[in-house]
């Protein structure tokens, strides 16, 4: 694999991990060591294709998450909050639920 192609794949993987990571500093060290081992170990076309597929998968996964959050904003709500949000969307207000008394 030419050095320029290795560098391009490495930058692509690093970019996608950086965008998806919550703590990018820890991922970078592991990623560097794994990538160097993989680059030294195999020079085949299938290894290059695997790395390119990995970059594409990471990018697609990030875009999927972005679209899911944008077009399905109720995904992280509880059932009751979801019902209230749906009712508000069509112009209704949910009645207040009476508190249950333990007698």
Q: Give the span between the Cα atoms of 40 and 32, in whole angstroms.
A: 12
Cα–Cα nearest to 10, from 23, 87, 40, 26? 40
Residue 19 lies in a domain: yes
Residue 103 lies in a domain: no
Residue 101 lies in a domain: no
pLDDT range class, residue 53, cuts 50, 70, 90: confident
Residue 13 lies in a domain: yes
Q: What is the mean pLDDT of residues 79-100?
A: 84
Q: How many domains does the chain have?
A: 1
Q: Record the tokens describing residue 10, joined without a space.
A: 């490495």
**Domain span at 50:** 3-89
> Which of 9-23, 69-83, 89-103 holds the top average pLDDT?
69-83
Residue 97 lies in a domain: no
> End-to-end CA distance of the chain, in Å?
75
Residue 96 lies in a domain: no
């Amino acid at each position: 694999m030419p050095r320029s192609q290795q560098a391009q794949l490495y930058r692509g993987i690093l970019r996608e991990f950086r965008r998806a990571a919550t703590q990018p500093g820890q991922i970078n060290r592991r990623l560097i060591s794994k990538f160097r081992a993989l680059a030294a170990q195999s020079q085949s076309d299938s290894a290059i294709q695997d790395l390119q597929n990995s970059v594409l998968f990471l990018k697609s996964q990030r875009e999927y998450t972005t679209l899911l959050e944008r077009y399905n904003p109720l995904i992280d709500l509880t059932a009751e909050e979801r019902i209230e949000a749906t009712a508000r969307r069509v112009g209704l207000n949910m009645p207040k639920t009476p508190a249950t008394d333990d007698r």
